[in-house]
Protein backbone atom coordinates (compact mmCIF):
# COMPACT_ATOMS: atom_id res chain seq x y z
CA UNK A 1 0.00 0.00 0.00
CA UNK A 2 2.74 2.56 0.84
CA UNK A 3 4.29 1.84 -2.54
CA UNK A 4 1.07 2.78 -4.33
CA UNK A 5 0.88 6.07 -2.44
CA UNK A 6 4.51 6.73 -3.24
CA UNK A 7 3.98 6.32 -6.96
CA UNK A 8 0.75 8.32 -7.11
CA UNK A 9 1.34 11.12 -4.64
CA UNK A 10 5.05 11.24 -3.96
CA UNK A 11 4.63 9.88 -0.41
CA UNK A 12 5.39 6.46 0.96
CA UNK A 13 2.99 7.01 3.84
CA UNK A 14 -0.78 6.41 3.77
CA UNK A 15 -2.97 9.46 3.37
CA UNK A 16 -3.40 10.95 6.86
CA UNK A 17 -7.14 11.57 6.59
CA UNK A 18 -7.75 8.05 5.34
CA UNK A 19 -5.42 6.53 7.93
CA UNK A 20 -7.03 8.48 10.76
CA UNK A 21 -10.48 7.62 9.47
CA UNK A 22 -9.48 3.96 9.42
CA UNK A 23 -8.19 4.20 12.99
CA UNK A 24 -11.28 6.08 14.16
CA UNK A 25 -13.56 3.56 12.49
CA UNK A 26 -11.58 0.78 14.11
CA UNK A 27 -11.94 2.49 17.50
CA UNK A 28 -15.65 2.97 16.92
CA UNK A 29 -15.95 -0.72 16.03
CA UNK A 30 -13.91 -1.62 19.10
CA UNK A 31 -16.20 0.47 21.27
CA UNK A 32 -19.21 -1.23 19.69
CA UNK A 33 -17.51 -4.59 20.22
CA UNK A 34 -16.83 -3.86 23.90
CA UNK A 35 -20.34 -2.49 24.47
CA UNK A 36 -21.81 -5.63 22.96
CA UNK A 37 -19.59 -7.87 25.07
CA UNK A 38 -20.77 -5.99 28.17
CA UNK A 39 -24.42 -6.03 27.15
CA UNK A 40 -27.06 -8.10 28.94
CA UNK A 41 -27.88 -9.58 25.55
CA UNK A 42 -24.40 -11.06 25.14
CA UNK A 43 -24.24 -12.09 28.78
CA UNK A 44 -27.45 -14.02 28.21
CA UNK A 45 -25.85 -15.69 25.17
CA UNK A 46 -22.83 -16.74 27.25
CA UNK A 47 -25.12 -18.04 29.97
CA UNK A 48 -27.13 -20.06 27.47
CA UNK A 49 -24.00 -21.23 25.63
CA UNK A 50 -22.57 -22.59 28.87
CA UNK A 51 -25.87 -24.17 29.90
CA UNK A 52 -26.80 -25.73 26.56
CA UNK A 53 -23.38 -27.28 26.08
CA UNK A 54 -23.17 -28.68 29.58
CA UNK A 55 -23.27 -32.45 29.94
CA UNK A 56 -26.27 -32.25 32.26
CA UNK A 57 -28.31 -30.21 29.77
CA UNK A 58 -27.38 -32.46 26.85
CA UNK A 59 -28.49 -35.49 28.85
CA UNK A 60 -31.82 -33.82 29.55
CA UNK A 61 -32.34 -33.07 25.86
CA UNK A 62 -31.42 -36.60 24.86
CA UNK A 63 -33.81 -37.95 27.46
CA UNK A 64 -36.61 -35.69 26.25
CA UNK A 65 -36.06 -36.79 22.66
CA UNK A 66 -35.62 -40.53 23.19
CA UNK A 67 -37.15 -41.62 26.48
CA UNK A 68 -40.62 -43.23 26.25
CA UNK A 69 -43.21 -43.69 28.95
CA UNK A 70 -42.41 -47.39 29.05
CA UNK A 71 -38.79 -46.57 29.95
CA UNK A 72 -39.71 -44.87 33.21
CA UNK A 73 -40.17 -45.99 36.82
CA UNK A 74 -43.63 -44.48 36.65
CA UNK A 75 -44.54 -46.86 33.85
CA UNK A 76 -43.24 -49.80 35.85
CA UNK A 77 -45.42 -48.76 38.78
CA UNK A 78 -48.37 -48.45 36.43
CA UNK A 79 -47.77 -51.93 35.05
CA UNK A 80 -47.42 -53.33 38.55
CA UNK A 81 -50.73 -51.74 39.46
CA UNK A 82 -52.45 -53.21 36.41
CA UNK A 83 -51.04 -56.65 37.19
CA UNK A 84 -52.33 -56.47 40.76
CA UNK A 85 -55.68 -55.15 39.61
CA UNK A 86 -56.13 -58.14 37.26
CA UNK A 87 -55.08 -60.78 39.81
CA UNK A 88 -57.92 -63.05 40.95
CA UNK A 89 -57.36 -62.72 44.69
CA UNK A 90 -57.28 -58.91 44.50
CA UNK A 91 -60.38 -58.83 42.34
CA UNK A 92 -62.20 -61.20 44.74
CA UNK A 93 -60.99 -59.17 47.70
CA UNK A 94 -62.44 -55.93 46.37
CA UNK A 95 -65.55 -57.65 45.10
CA UNK A 96 -66.20 -58.99 48.61
CA UNK A 97 -65.14 -55.75 50.31
CA UNK A 98 -67.42 -53.71 48.09
CA UNK A 99 -70.38 -56.09 48.49
CA UNK A 100 -71.29 -54.73 51.92
CA UNK A 101 -70.88 -58.14 53.50
CA UNK A 102 -67.95 -57.18 55.76
CA UNK A 103 -70.01 -54.41 57.30
CA UNK A 104 -73.04 -56.69 57.76
CA UNK A 105 -70.91 -59.38 59.33
CA UNK A 106 -69.32 -56.88 61.71
CA UNK A 107 -72.79 -55.62 62.67
CA UNK A 108 -74.14 -59.11 63.27
CA UNK A 109 -71.07 -60.24 65.19
CA UNK A 110 -71.41 -57.30 67.57
CA UNK A 111 -75.18 -57.86 68.10
CA UNK A 112 -76.72 -59.29 71.34
CA UNK A 113 -78.39 -61.98 69.28
CA UNK A 114 -75.08 -63.27 67.93
CA UNK A 115 -73.46 -62.99 71.32
CA UNK A 116 -76.35 -65.12 72.73
CA UNK A 117 -75.94 -67.54 69.85
CA UNK A 118 -72.22 -67.99 70.58
CA UNK A 119 -72.98 -68.40 74.25
CA UNK A 120 -75.54 -71.12 73.52
CA UNK A 121 -73.35 -72.72 70.89
CA UNK A 122 -70.54 -73.03 73.35
CA UNK A 123 -72.99 -74.50 75.83
CA UNK A 124 -74.45 -77.17 73.51
CA UNK A 125 -70.94 -78.17 72.57
CA UNK A 126 -69.91 -78.53 76.21
CA UNK A 127 -69.57 -81.76 78.30
CA UNK A 128 -72.23 -80.46 80.68
CA UNK A 129 -74.77 -80.29 77.85
CA UNK A 130 -73.84 -83.71 76.55
CA UNK A 131 -74.34 -85.23 80.01
CA UNK A 132 -77.65 -83.47 80.45
CA UNK A 133 -78.82 -84.61 77.05
CA UNK A 134 -78.03 -88.24 77.98
CA UNK A 135 -80.20 -88.17 81.10
CA UNK A 136 -83.87 -89.28 81.24
CA UNK A 137 -86.34 -86.42 81.07
CA UNK A 138 -83.94 -84.13 79.15
CA UNK A 139 -86.78 -82.31 77.38
CA UNK A 140 -88.07 -81.06 80.70
CA UNK A 141 -84.74 -79.64 81.78
CA UNK A 142 -83.43 -76.04 81.50
CA UNK A 143 -80.66 -77.40 79.27
CA UNK A 144 -83.25 -78.47 76.73
CA UNK A 145 -84.77 -74.98 76.75
CA UNK A 146 -81.32 -73.57 75.94
CA UNK A 147 -80.90 -76.13 73.21
CA UNK A 148 -84.21 -75.11 71.67
CA UNK A 149 -83.23 -71.44 71.85
CA UNK A 150 -79.89 -72.30 70.20
CA UNK A 151 -81.58 -74.13 67.31
CA UNK A 152 -84.03 -71.28 66.88
CA UNK A 153 -81.20 -68.67 66.71
CA UNK A 154 -79.24 -70.88 64.33
CA UNK A 155 -82.13 -70.71 61.90
CA UNK A 156 -82.26 -66.86 61.93
CA UNK A 157 -81.27 -65.12 58.69
CA UNK A 158 -78.41 -63.15 60.17
CA UNK A 159 -76.86 -66.15 61.94
CA UNK A 160 -77.25 -68.33 58.90
CA UNK A 161 -75.68 -65.53 56.75
CA UNK A 162 -72.70 -65.19 59.04
CA UNK A 163 -72.15 -68.91 59.33
CA UNK A 164 -72.37 -69.40 55.62
CA UNK A 165 -70.23 -66.40 54.72
CA UNK A 166 -67.35 -66.91 57.12
CA UNK A 167 -66.96 -70.42 55.82
CA UNK A 168 -66.80 -69.24 52.19
CA UNK A 169 -63.60 -69.01 50.15
CA UNK A 170 -64.40 -65.38 49.36
CA UNK A 171 -64.41 -64.47 53.06
CA UNK A 172 -61.27 -66.45 53.72
CA UNK A 173 -59.54 -64.64 50.79
CA UNK A 174 -60.77 -61.34 52.18
CA UNK A 175 -59.47 -62.12 55.64
CA UNK A 176 -56.08 -63.16 54.29
CA UNK A 177 -55.62 -59.98 52.21
CA UNK A 178 -57.19 -57.51 54.63
CA UNK A 179 -54.38 -55.32 56.03
CA UNK A 180 -51.73 -57.25 54.07
CA UNK A 181 -48.69 -55.69 52.35
CA UNK A 182 -50.18 -56.80 49.07
CA UNK A 183 -53.30 -54.71 49.58
CA UNK A 184 -51.30 -51.80 50.98
CA UNK A 185 -49.10 -51.91 47.89
CA UNK A 186 -52.16 -52.03 45.66
CA UNK A 187 -53.81 -49.12 47.46
CA UNK A 188 -50.64 -47.01 47.23
CA UNK A 189 -50.26 -47.76 43.55
CA UNK A 190 -53.92 -47.08 42.93
CA UNK A 191 -53.67 -43.70 44.63
CA UNK A 192 -50.49 -42.89 42.69
CA UNK A 193 -51.73 -43.84 39.20
CA UNK A 194 -54.90 -41.82 39.77
CA UNK A 195 -53.03 -38.78 41.05
CA UNK A 196 -52.70 -35.56 39.03
CA UNK A 197 -48.93 -35.88 39.23
CA UNK A 198 -48.94 -39.26 37.52
CA UNK A 199 -51.67 -38.42 35.00
CA UNK A 200 -49.83 -35.24 34.00
CA UNK A 201 -46.55 -37.14 33.72
CA UNK A 202 -48.14 -39.88 31.62
CA UNK A 203 -49.81 -37.33 29.33
CA UNK A 204 -46.52 -35.48 28.91
CA UNK A 205 -44.54 -38.64 28.19
CA UNK A 206 -47.07 -39.80 25.60
CA UNK A 207 -47.27 -36.36 23.94
CA UNK A 208 -45.52 -36.55 20.51
CA UNK A 209 -44.63 -32.84 20.88
CA UNK A 210 -43.16 -33.32 24.33
CA UNK A 211 -39.69 -31.97 23.48
CA UNK A 212 -41.06 -28.91 21.66
CA UNK A 213 -43.08 -28.02 24.75
CA UNK A 214 -40.12 -28.37 27.11
CA UNK A 215 -38.17 -25.58 28.78
CA UNK A 216 -35.01 -26.99 27.21
CA UNK A 217 -36.47 -26.53 23.72
CA UNK A 218 -37.34 -22.90 24.57
CA UNK A 219 -33.80 -22.25 25.80
CA UNK A 220 -32.26 -23.80 22.68
CA UNK A 221 -34.51 -21.65 20.47
CA UNK A 222 -33.63 -18.53 22.46
CA UNK A 223 -29.95 -19.40 21.98
CA UNK A 224 -30.43 -19.91 18.23
CA UNK A 225 -32.35 -16.65 17.86
CA UNK A 226 -29.55 -14.70 19.55
CA UNK A 227 -27.04 -16.25 17.14
CA UNK A 228 -29.15 -15.06 14.19
CA UNK A 229 -29.11 -11.38 15.21
CA UNK A 230 -26.98 -9.03 13.08
CA UNK A 231 -25.08 -7.75 16.13
CA UNK A 232 -24.14 -11.27 17.20
CA UNK A 233 -23.08 -12.26 13.67
CA UNK A 234 -20.97 -9.09 13.40
CA UNK A 235 -19.46 -9.68 16.83
CA UNK A 236 -18.57 -13.30 16.02
CA UNK A 237 -16.93 -12.45 12.71
CA UNK A 238 -15.08 -9.54 14.27
CA UNK A 239 -13.85 -11.66 17.16
CA UNK A 240 -12.46 -14.27 14.77
CA UNK A 241 -10.70 -11.64 12.68
CA UNK A 242 -8.75 -10.34 15.71
CA UNK A 243 -9.01 -6.78 14.33
CA UNK A 244 -8.64 -5.24 17.76
CA UNK A 245 -5.55 -7.06 18.99
CA UNK A 246 -3.43 -3.90 18.87
CA UNK A 247 -6.17 -1.62 20.21
CA UNK A 248 -6.98 -3.99 23.02
CA UNK A 249 -3.32 -4.08 23.98
CA UNK A 250 -3.27 -0.42 24.98
CA UNK A 251 -4.82 1.51 27.85
CA UNK A 252 -5.20 5.28 27.45
CA UNK A 253 -3.18 7.24 30.04
CA UNK A 254 -3.21 10.79 28.67
CA UNK A 255 -4.97 12.70 25.95
CA UNK A 256 -5.88 16.19 24.84
CA UNK A 257 -8.09 16.96 21.86
CA UNK A 258 -7.71 20.73 22.40
CA UNK A 259 -11.45 21.30 22.21
CA UNK A 260 -11.57 23.89 25.00
CA UNK A 261 -11.29 27.67 24.64
CA UNK A 262 -7.96 27.78 26.43
CA UNK A 263 -5.03 25.47 27.05
CA UNK A 264 -5.69 23.14 30.00
CA UNK A 265 -3.27 24.34 32.70
CA UNK A 266 -3.80 21.10 34.60
CA UNK A 267 -2.12 19.30 31.71
CA UNK A 268 0.27 21.79 30.18
CA UNK A 269 2.88 24.33 31.17
CA UNK A 270 4.10 26.85 28.60
CA UNK A 271 7.85 26.73 29.05
CA UNK A 272 10.71 24.56 30.16
CA UNK A 273 9.81 22.58 33.26
CA UNK A 274 12.68 23.79 35.47
CA UNK A 275 11.94 27.42 34.64
CA UNK A 276 8.36 27.01 35.76
CA UNK A 277 9.36 24.91 38.77
CA UNK A 278 12.18 27.19 40.01
CA UNK A 279 11.24 30.64 38.71
CA UNK A 280 7.60 30.34 37.76
CA UNK A 281 8.86 31.94 34.55
CA UNK A 282 10.23 31.08 31.13
CA UNK A 283 13.82 30.82 30.06
CA UNK A 284 15.71 29.43 27.05
CA UNK A 285 19.12 27.86 26.55
CA UNK A 286 22.13 29.86 25.47
CA UNK A 287 22.08 28.51 21.91
CA UNK A 288 18.42 29.45 21.30
CA UNK A 289 17.61 32.61 19.36
CA UNK A 290 13.90 32.73 20.26
CA UNK A 291 12.07 33.27 23.53
CA UNK A 292 8.94 31.39 24.54
CA UNK A 293 5.82 33.41 25.34
CA UNK A 294 2.21 32.44 26.00
CA UNK A 295 1.14 34.81 23.20
CA UNK A 296 2.70 32.39 20.72
CA UNK A 297 0.31 29.61 21.84
CA UNK A 298 -3.20 29.78 20.47
CA UNK A 299 -6.18 27.40 20.65
CA UNK A 300 -8.62 27.53 17.77
CA UNK A 301 -10.38 25.06 15.49
CA UNK A 302 -9.82 22.26 18.07
CA UNK A 303 -6.04 22.59 17.70
CA UNK A 304 -3.18 24.18 19.55
CA UNK A 305 -0.97 26.36 17.35
CA UNK A 306 2.65 27.15 18.25
CA UNK A 307 3.78 30.14 16.20
CA UNK A 308 7.31 31.45 15.67
CA UNK A 309 7.39 35.19 14.94
CA UNK A 310 9.96 37.89 14.32
CA UNK A 311 9.52 40.35 17.16
CA UNK A 312 11.66 41.93 19.85
CA UNK A 313 11.15 40.74 23.39
CA UNK A 314 13.07 40.57 26.67
CA UNK A 315 13.55 37.28 28.52
CA UNK A 316 15.92 35.04 30.42
CA UNK A 317 18.63 32.76 29.12
CA UNK A 318 20.45 30.04 31.01
CA UNK A 319 24.17 30.71 31.11
CA UNK A 320 26.31 27.80 32.22
CA UNK A 321 28.65 30.12 34.13
CA UNK A 322 26.30 32.82 35.49
CA UNK A 323 22.94 31.03 35.63
CA UNK A 324 19.76 32.83 34.54
CA UNK A 325 20.61 36.08 32.74
CA UNK A 326 18.39 38.72 31.11
CA UNK A 327 18.62 38.86 27.31
CA UNK A 328 17.06 40.51 24.27
CA UNK A 329 15.49 38.36 21.57
CA UNK A 330 14.39 39.13 18.01
CA UNK A 331 12.12 36.10 17.74
CA UNK A 332 9.37 34.55 19.85
CA UNK A 333 7.92 31.09 19.80
CA UNK A 334 5.85 28.61 21.82
CA UNK A 335 6.43 25.50 23.92
CA UNK A 336 4.00 23.29 25.81
CA UNK A 337 5.04 20.54 28.22
CA UNK A 338 3.50 17.98 30.61
CA UNK A 339 6.46 18.22 32.99
CA UNK A 340 4.22 19.00 35.99
CA UNK A 341 1.32 16.66 35.15
CA UNK A 342 2.23 13.55 33.16
CA UNK A 343 5.30 11.34 32.92
CA UNK A 344 5.52 7.76 31.77
CA UNK A 345 8.08 5.04 31.13
CA UNK A 346 7.26 2.78 28.18
CA UNK A 347 4.07 2.89 26.14
CA UNK A 348 2.79 4.51 22.97
CA UNK A 349 2.97 8.26 22.44
CA UNK A 350 1.44 9.90 19.40
CA UNK A 351 0.17 13.19 18.06
CA UNK A 352 -1.40 14.50 14.89
CA UNK A 353 0.74 17.41 13.76
CA UNK A 354 1.00 19.82 10.83
CA UNK A 355 4.38 21.48 10.30
CA UNK A 356 5.20 24.61 8.39
CA UNK A 357 8.64 24.44 6.74
CA UNK A 358 10.54 27.55 7.78
CA UNK A 359 14.21 26.62 7.84
CA UNK A 360 16.11 27.01 10.15
CA UNK A 361 13.13 26.98 12.58
CA UNK A 362 13.08 23.60 14.34
CA UNK A 363 9.67 22.07 15.13
CA UNK A 364 9.92 19.25 17.68
CA UNK A 365 7.79 16.61 19.38
CA UNK A 366 10.04 15.15 22.07
CA UNK A 367 10.18 13.47 25.44
CA UNK A 368 12.58 14.23 28.23
CA UNK A 369 13.44 12.83 31.66
CA UNK A 370 13.82 14.60 35.00
CA UNK A 371 17.52 15.45 34.40
CA UNK A 372 17.03 16.42 30.73
CA UNK A 373 18.83 13.24 29.66
CA UNK A 374 17.84 10.84 28.28
CA UNK A 375 15.63 12.43 25.63
CA UNK A 376 13.69 10.92 22.74
CA UNK A 377 12.92 12.89 19.59
CA UNK A 378 9.68 11.59 18.14
CA UNK A 379 10.22 14.16 15.41
CA UNK A 380 12.49 17.10 14.65
CA UNK A 381 11.76 19.17 11.53
CA UNK A 382 14.70 21.47 10.80
CA UNK A 383 16.31 20.43 7.53
CA UNK A 384 16.69 22.66 4.48
CA UNK A 385 14.50 20.16 2.66
CA UNK A 386 10.81 20.02 3.53
CA UNK A 387 10.94 16.29 2.69
CA UNK A 388 13.12 15.24 5.58
CA UNK A 389 12.54 14.91 9.30
CA UNK A 390 14.87 13.70 12.00
CA UNK A 391 14.21 11.18 14.79
CA UNK A 392 16.43 9.78 17.50
CA UNK A 393 17.41 9.87 21.15
CA UNK A 394 20.03 11.40 23.40
CA UNK A 395 21.96 9.65 26.13
CA UNK A 396 24.49 10.55 28.77
CA UNK A 397 27.59 8.35 28.74
CA UNK A 398 30.50 8.92 31.08
CA UNK A 399 29.49 12.53 31.66
CA UNK A 400 29.08 13.42 27.98
CA UNK A 401 26.11 13.49 25.66
CA UNK A 402 25.63 10.96 22.93
CA UNK A 403 23.18 11.77 20.14
CA UNK A 404 21.72 8.97 18.04
CA UNK A 405 19.81 10.41 15.08
CA UNK A 406 18.15 9.09 11.94
CA UNK A 407 16.78 10.91 8.91
CA UNK A 408 13.35 9.99 7.57
CA UNK A 409 12.26 10.84 4.04
CA UNK A 410 9.46 9.74 1.78
CA UNK A 411 7.01 12.66 1.86
CA UNK A 412 6.78 16.43 1.83
CA UNK A 413 6.06 16.98 5.52
CA UNK A 414 5.26 20.68 5.13
CA UNK A 415 1.70 21.96 5.50
CA UNK A 416 0.21 18.46 5.78
CA UNK A 417 -1.02 16.64 8.85
CA UNK A 418 0.76 13.42 9.81
CA UNK A 419 0.37 11.19 12.83
CA UNK A 420 3.76 10.77 14.48
CA UNK A 421 4.12 7.88 16.93
CA UNK A 422 6.65 6.31 19.24
CA UNK A 423 6.22 2.85 20.73
CA UNK A 424 8.64 2.39 23.59
CA UNK A 425 9.22 -0.92 25.33
CA UNK A 426 11.96 -2.22 27.58
CA UNK A 427 13.74 -3.68 24.54
CA UNK A 428 12.80 -1.50 21.61
CA UNK A 429 12.01 1.98 20.31
CA UNK A 430 9.76 2.07 17.24
CA UNK A 431 8.96 5.27 15.33
CA UNK A 432 5.95 5.37 13.02
CA UNK A 433 4.36 7.86 10.65
CA UNK A 434 0.71 7.23 9.83
CA UNK A 435 1.12 3.70 11.17
CA UNK A 436 4.12 2.89 8.99
CA UNK A 437 7.29 1.89 10.81
CA UNK A 438 10.14 4.23 9.88
CA UNK A 439 12.77 3.10 12.39
CA UNK A 440 13.39 0.54 15.12
CA UNK A 441 16.28 0.38 17.56
CA UNK A 442 16.97 -2.32 20.12
CA UNK A 443 20.02 -1.07 22.01
CA UNK A 444 20.63 1.62 24.64
CA UNK A 445 16.92 1.85 25.36
CA UNK A 446 16.06 4.60 27.90
CA UNK A 447 14.44 3.36 31.08
CA UNK A 448 13.37 6.53 32.91
CA UNK A 449 9.91 8.13 32.98
CA UNK A 450 9.65 11.07 30.57
CA UNK A 451 7.23 13.90 29.90
CA UNK A 452 6.00 15.33 26.60
CA UNK A 453 7.23 18.52 24.97
CA UNK A 454 6.04 20.27 21.80
CA UNK A 455 8.14 23.26 20.76
CA UNK A 456 9.43 25.40 17.95
CA UNK A 457 13.03 26.68 18.26
CA UNK A 458 15.40 28.85 16.33
CA UNK A 459 19.01 27.67 16.73
CA UNK A 460 20.67 29.51 13.84
CA UNK A 461 21.52 33.15 13.26
CA UNK A 462 20.17 32.87 9.73
CA UNK A 463 16.85 34.61 9.20
CA UNK A 464 14.11 32.01 8.84
CA UNK A 465 12.06 31.48 5.72
CA UNK A 466 8.25 31.63 5.74
CA UNK A 467 7.98 33.58 9.01
CA UNK A 468 5.69 33.35 10.89
CA UNK A 469 6.27 29.61 11.20
CA UNK A 470 3.63 27.31 12.70
CA UNK A 471 3.37 23.93 14.39
CA UNK A 472 -0.28 22.84 14.65
CA UNK A 473 -1.22 19.99 17.01
CA UNK A 474 -4.67 18.47 16.46
CA UNK A 475 -4.52 15.95 19.29
CA UNK A 476 -2.16 14.10 21.63
CA UNK A 477 -2.70 10.57 23.00
CA UNK A 478 -0.58 8.35 25.23
CA UNK A 479 -1.06 4.74 26.20
CA UNK A 480 0.45 2.04 28.32
CA UNK A 481 0.30 -1.71 27.81
CA UNK A 482 -2.66 -3.04 29.81
CA UNK A 483 -1.62 -4.56 33.09
CA UNK A 484 1.69 -2.72 33.28
CA UNK A 485 2.24 -0.24 36.08
Q: What is the pLDDT of residue 7?
A: 33
Q: What is the pLDDT of residue 277?
A: 84
- The pTM assigned to this predicted structure is 0.70
Distance in angstroms (rounded) separating the CA atoms of residues 270 and 126: 137
- Say if residue 355 is exposed, middle or buried (CB neighbours under 10 Å; 0-12, 13-18, 19+): buried
Distance in angstroms (rounded) separating the CA atoms of residues 475 and 16: 13
DSSP string of 102-159, one letter each residue: HHHHHHHHTSHHHHHHHHHHHHHTSHHHHHHHHSTTGGGSHHHHHHHHHHHHHTSHHH
Residue 299, phi-psi category: left (phi > 0), alpha (psi -120 to 50), beta (remainder): beta
Residues above pLDDT 90, as percent of the chain: 80
Using pLDDT thresholds of 50, 70 and 90, give the confidence band for residue 398. Answer: confident
Distance in angstroms (rounded) separating the CA atoms of residues 464 and 222: 71
Query: In degrees rounded to 5, what are phi and psi of residue 226?
Result: -60, -40
- CA 7 → CA 3, 17, 462, distances in Å? 6, 18, 35
Per residue in 320-348, pLDDT (tens digit) is: 888 889 999 999 999 999 999 999 999 99
Residue of 342, 373, 372 lying closest to 452 (CA atoms): 342
Is 453:270 a contact under the CB 8 Å cutoff?
no
Q: What is the pLDDT of residue 70?
A: 93
- Say if residue 437 is exposed, middle or buried (CB neighbours under 10 Å; 0-12, 13-18, 19+): exposed
Query: In degrees rounded to 5, what are phi and psi of residue 346?
Result: 70, 150
Domains and CATH numbers, the chain: 72-205 (no CATH), 253-481 (2.60.120.200)
The four Cα atoms 54, 56, 58, 61 give a dihedral, to 10 degrees, of -140
Q: What is the pLDDT of residue 200?
A: 94
Average pLDDT, the chain: 92
Per residue in 460-472, pLDDT (tens digit) is: 888 887 899 999 9
Helices 215-228 and 230-241 sit at what angle, rounded to 10 degrees?
70
- Residue 162: which H helix or E strand, with range? helix 157-166
Query: Does residue 275 sit in helix, strand or coil?
Result: helix
Amino acid sequence: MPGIFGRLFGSKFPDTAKYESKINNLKADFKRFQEYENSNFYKRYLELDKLIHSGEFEKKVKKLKTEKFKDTDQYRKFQNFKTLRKSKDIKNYFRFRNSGKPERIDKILSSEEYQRFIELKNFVESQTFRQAKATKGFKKTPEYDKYKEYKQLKRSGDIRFVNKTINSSAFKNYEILKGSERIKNYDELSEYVNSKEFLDFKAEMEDPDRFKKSEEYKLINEYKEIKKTPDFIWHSKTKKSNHFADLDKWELTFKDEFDEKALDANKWITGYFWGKALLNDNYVLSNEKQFFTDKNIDLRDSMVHLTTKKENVKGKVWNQQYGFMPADFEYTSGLISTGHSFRQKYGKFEAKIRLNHAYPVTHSFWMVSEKNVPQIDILRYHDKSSKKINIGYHLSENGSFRNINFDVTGADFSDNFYIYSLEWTQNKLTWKINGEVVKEVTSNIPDEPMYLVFSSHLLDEKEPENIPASMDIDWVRCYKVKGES
